[in-house]
Amino acid sequence: MDIQTKLLQKLDDAQSEMIEIRRYLHEHPEVSFKEKATSKYIKDFYQKIGCDTIDYGEGYGFVVDINGGKPGKKLALRADFDALAVQEDNDLPFKSKNDGVMHACGHDGHTAYMMILARALNELKDELTGSIRIIHQPAEEVSPGGAKGMLEAGVLDGVDNVIGIHVMSSMPTGSIGYHQDETQTGRANFTIKIKGHGGHASMPHLSNDAIVAGAYFVTALQTVVSRRIDPFDTASVTIGSFDGTGSYNAIKEDVVLKGDVRVMKETTRKTIRNQILQISAGLEKMFGVKMDIDYDDNYPVLVNDAHLTQQVVHAIKTANLLEVKDVFDCGMQDPSEDFAYFAQDTPSCFYYVGCQPEDGKNHPHHSPDFMMNEDCLIVAAKSAAIATLDYLAD
């Protein structure tokens, strides 16, 4: 029996265990940078099977190294394990037990399939050529992201390439989506505090109205993408919060706005930031207010290495896995992802595994009713297994 047959059989035999792990993690979610119990749970799993864990970064991230019987290339496989500050609205027997926290993006599934895959690979390590670094990463959801800290600590030293997977509720279960080159948007967030001069609503001439200045800012912001970005580029600027609560008969002295920026080119990122600063400077003079800006340029554009992506896709397609019904180019994806830091450092491939629930309804990521079809777990595990074996054998 060849190693591929053995590996896939081990994954089949552990499918129910994979689901059990996912459900345990779903019941006990922890938000970014606070995943102490989650990290311990995963580490205990590896301790029981005789694998050492090595911490990387200041958070709760760690790696497990699987060294093959023969020297060769070193591949990293990455899975994230943080949850979101979302109150779950699903009626499940394994519903979140932590109030206000939920695995609303599928990271519980990422971790579950990776743990079982890592164990299976470790059991067959003597038959492998090269080595595998399993990266269990915290804090994908919140800037600066867990990947950045692990990178700064040297998590990819000696690694030739990295592969990552994200489950996608918008894609049918059994499908695998991919794209090469620019694949997911880069991201920035900003907070702007507008400080004016408050006063009585009957005497507006004696005040500098922060709400009016804020309203002009929101309106002017709409011209950034429509008039300063090439129509063939991808970009969005969103004001997600306008906190100006006050009284009906008082002119507001200060307001706070929070915004989000998404780009598909790093040059576009610079243009948008400069435009926001320029508009703010103009409003200060126009309205006599002070614009205090906290601008956080964080996740870069996720760029998939063309050669590695083609290799991964070819391996999955030619494996003819029964669970995989379709492998397709899904095009560029709107959300941002801190795997982009890994891809920025080392040639990488990040692809998608459909997890659309059987009811066919829309259960979007980051929503209180996010839900996955757990059949996606075996698809993720087997596709990653095939990609890993093909890579190491090349």
Phi, psi of 178 (to 5 degrees): -150, 165
Active site residues per annotation: 82, 140
Give whole-number Cα distances, 189 to 80, 230, 261, in Å. Answer: 21, 21, 6
As a three-state string, the secondary structure of the chain is: CCHHHHHHHHHHHCHHHHHHHHHHHHHCCCECCCCHHHHHHHHHHHHHCCCCCEECCCCCCEEEEEECCEEEEEEEEEEECCEECCCCCCCCCCCCCCCCCECCCCHHHHHHHHHHHHHHHHHCHHHCEEEEEEEEECCCCCCCCHHHHHHHCCCCCCCCEEEEEEEECCCCCCEEEECCEEEECEEEEEEEEEECECEECCCHHHCECHHHHHHHHHHHHHHHHHHHCCCCCCEEEEEEEEECCCCCCEECCEEEEEEEEEECCHHHHHHHHHHHHHHHHHHHHHHCCEEEEEEEECCCCEEECHHHHHHHHHHHHHHCCCCCCEEEECCCECCCCCHHHHHHHCCEEEEEEECCCCCCCCCCCCCCCCCCCCCHHHHHHHHHHHHHHHHHHC
- Beta-carbon contacts of 247 under 8 Å, excluding residues fewer than 6 positions away, are none
**Residue reference for tokens 């950045």:** 148
Strand 290-297 relative to strand 62-67, pairing: unpaired
